Structure formats: C-alpha cells, structure tokens
Amino acid sequence: MHSFCLGGASYPCDFPSALYVFDEDSALTADNLYLIEGEDSTRMSVSAKYAFYALTNISDALLEQYPPVHNLMARREDPAFRDKLRRGLIALLSVLRDRALAVCQTKKLQVVRIGLTIPVQWTLEFEEVYRELVCKVFKVDQDVIYFFTETEALARYLLKHNADQMDPDGEHNAIMFFDFGGHNMVCLTSLMASAAGC
C-alpha cells in the first residue's frame, strides 16, 4: 500500500478494490465485505468496478467486453446478492470517505465537490448508481458530484499542471489524448485555450 505525506501525517492512497460478496450472508459485515488491509486468497472476490455491472441493466454488447462479470450477472436478479454488492461498495466508499476527511481535517478543508472517474463505456445508469452510493456515504447532495471519463481526468490534470508550457496563440492550439484502455481506445481533443481553466 502506498502513502503520501501531508502536514507531517502519512495517509494511504492506494486501496484494494476486491469485494468479498460470495460468502454466506450471516458471515458478512462491513468489515469483511471489504478488506482495507489487502486481499484474502482463501475467499472468492470480485473487483468493486464489476459490482456496478450487476447493479445496472447493461447491454449484451457491453457485457461481452467484460467476461469477469458473467458470474455476477447470473445472480443479479437476487435481491440479497444485490444488497451484498451495494454493502460492499458502501464499505469501500466509507474507507475512502474517512481517509478524505482525515486529510481535509489536517488542512482545515471540507469536501464541497466530488469528481469521479468512470470508464468511457459507462452509461447514465452507471452514473446514477455510483452517484446514489456516493451521496449516501459522503452525505452530500447529488449536484456536487461530477463524472469524468478516465481520459478526461488525465487530460485535465496534464493541462492544468503544464499550462505554463503551452501557447494557446501558437501554431498548435489543440492537443489529442489517446487512451488505449482495458477494452477500448478513446480519443479526446482539448483546445489549448481551455488549459488555464481546467
């Protein structure tokens, strides 16, 4: 697990993404649906990202791109299983919230907006599920939550932190970002004039 230092305190910044939703219901609590300390190789797990696929009505075409979710899809009509997926995601988001609030407290900051990166294939239905869970965990209104594709987030970061090296009045006033992601290729064009406003 990685960490970063802020104000003399060290905070973990890598979080496992495994959810343990396949155990018997009676054995599952927030503390063992999601394990912050790492993976348990004796238990079957699923990536938190894939839990969203079982909580939405995704198309067959999109489902074909993600073979690891097939065992989840077979159980997605089971309300008890869907509840475990939600509780697992809430447990993960709760850990993230607690770490974010600890950092905010150190710097006397507060969470006023939440930006979330999502795969480019995710539809509005994915965003609705994600937004609902984040609102519940962070206790915020939905209008403070913003979604960016992973490529958009990278472009914004690079433009913001390198704006001084770019000349919007120069010969080249656009930048193309190519993301060869897990199951797609994304192209994003950003105009140089927007670099300072990222």
pLDDT for res 108: 92
pLDDT for res 79: 92
Residues facing 127 on adjacent strands: none
Nearest to 169 by CA among 192, 194, 195: 192
Instruction: Please report where in the chains the tokens 């950092």 appear, as a residue.
Output: 103
Which phi and psi (to 5°) does residue 7 adopt? Answer: 60, 35
Query: How far is 96 from 45, CA to CA, in rounded Å?
Result: 19
pLDDT for res 133: 97
pLDDT for res 188: 59
As given in the structure block, the two tokens for residue 35 are 């394990």
pLDDT for res 30: 74
Query: How far is 100 from 98, CA to CA, in rounded Å?
Result: 6
Per-residue pLDDT for the chain (198 aa), expressed as one digit of tens each?
333 434 444 445 578 888 998 887 767 777 888 888 778 888 888 889 989 999 998 877 777 777 778 888 888 889 999 999 999 999 999 999 999 999 899 989 999 999 998 988 888 999 999 999 999 999 999 999 999 888 888 778 877 777 777 666 666 666 777 777 655 555 656 554 444 444
- Positive or negative: CA dihedral 64, 115, 154, 103: negative
Instruction: Please answer whether residues 54 and 73 qualify as being in contact, where contact means their C-beta atoms are separated by less than 8 angstroms.
Output: yes
pLDDT for res 8: 46
pTM: predicted TM-score of the whole model, two decimal places: 0.78
Nearest to 107 by CA among 8, 11, 4, 7: 7
Residues facing 145 on adjacent strands: 114
As given in the structure block, the two tokens for residue 105 are 């407290």
pLDDT for res 189: 61
For the chain, the straight-line distance linking the first and the last C-alpha, in angstroms and rounded, comes to: 30
Name the helix (H) or strand (E) containing 116: strand 114-118
pLDDT for res 6: 44
